[in-house]
């Protein structure tokens, strides 16, 4: 009860919720893209299961967030994985009747969890900092409390994006571009590249890449995902057409 009466605790909870809201937009889009191929009656279940898995992964990452950010090449690997997920989400067809509904549901859930795991490498640092500042001996309580408050926001946002994707297919393309953007900017800030990219050393020993390089990396990542996605779609349509033609 003393913890709940502590204004510092509630200030930290508010900071964590705000961070999750600000960073939840890309998660909502990923969740929506992964669940768009599910039958209507399974979409909510996919959103809830995927969000729950992502939250569990994020809590587990909090304790090792700062260590993870210092591992060379980890962000580069994550960027490649995120680009692959982006291309896959762009090219997956919802009309795939050869896959059972159950398989499609768990495939969507796994995609959500993996994508959130990759994207959370940076995001959890802000949450960890807020928890450290206001949590004292209750840092993990803060993290879980703040994330639980954020779940309805992510679920609600995913449901809205899903409806937009059904009505406006170009939203799917924007989602793919976002995945590529995140991948590009993630790769640009990998510690292994510090000596090879325009950057400045920070007071805490870290580094910050030049803004123009950061933005360029994001644009290149977005363009790459879209181009590869379009090429994969054209190849898939050509392969389907060749199978339909008589011998």
Annotated domain spans of the chain: 7-244
Tokens of 82: 């995120």
| Residues 65, 117, 183: CA angle, nearest 5 degrees | 95
Q: What is the pTM of this model?
A: 0.70
Q: Which long-range contacts (CB under 8 A, 24 or more apart) does 35-39 make?
A: 35/108, 35/112, 35/158, 35/162, 36/94, 36/162, 36/165, 36/166, 36/172, 37/92, 37/93, 37/94, 37/96, 37/104, 37/108, 38/94, 38/101, 38/104, 38/105, 38/108, 39/101
Write out the chain's pLDDT in tens, 247 residues. 455 566 666 666 666 666 666 556 677 788 888 888 888 788 888 888 888 887 787 777 766 665 666 778 888 888 888 888 888 888 875 444 344 445 678 888 888 888 877 776 666 655 665 565 555 555 566 666 666 666 777 777 788 888 888 888 888 888 888 888 988 988 888 888 878 888 877 665 667 888 899 899 999 999 999 999 888 888 876 666 566 655 5
Angle between the 211-244 and 74-91 helix axes, to the nearest 10 degrees? 40
- Give the torsion through C-alpha atoms of 1, 154, 62, 197, to 10 deg: -150
């Amino acid at each position: 009860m003393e913890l709940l009466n502590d204004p510092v605790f509630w200030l930290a909870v508010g900071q964590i919720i705000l961070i999750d809201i600000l960073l939840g937009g890309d998660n909502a889009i990923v969740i929506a893209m992964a669940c768009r191929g599910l039958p209507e009656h399974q979409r909510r279940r996919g959103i809830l299961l995927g969000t729950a898995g992502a939250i569990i992964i994020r809590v587990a990452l909090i304790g090792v967030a700062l260590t993870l950010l210092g591992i060379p090449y980890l962000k580069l690997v994550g960027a490649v994985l995120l680009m692959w997920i982006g291309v896959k989400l762009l090219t997956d067809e919802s009309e795939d009747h050869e896959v059972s509904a159950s398989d499609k549901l768990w495939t969507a859930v796994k995609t959500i969890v993996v994508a959130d795991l990759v994207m959370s490498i940076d995001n959890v640092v802000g949450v960890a900092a807020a928890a450290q500042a206001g949590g004292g001996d209750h840092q993990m309580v803060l993290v879980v409390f703040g994330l639980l408050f954020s779940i309805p926001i992510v679920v609600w946002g995913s449901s809205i994006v899903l409806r937009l994707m059904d009505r406006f297919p170009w939203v799917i393309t924007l989602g793919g571009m976002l995945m590529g953007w995140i991948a590009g900017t993630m790769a640009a800030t990998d510690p292994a590249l510090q000596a090879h990219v325009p950057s400045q050393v920070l007071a805490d020993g870290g580094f910050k890449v030049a803004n123009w390089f950061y933005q360029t990396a994001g644009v290149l990542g977005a363009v790459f995902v879209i181009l590869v996605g379009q090429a994969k779609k054209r190849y898939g349509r050509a392969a389907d057409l060749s199978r339909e033609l008589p011998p």
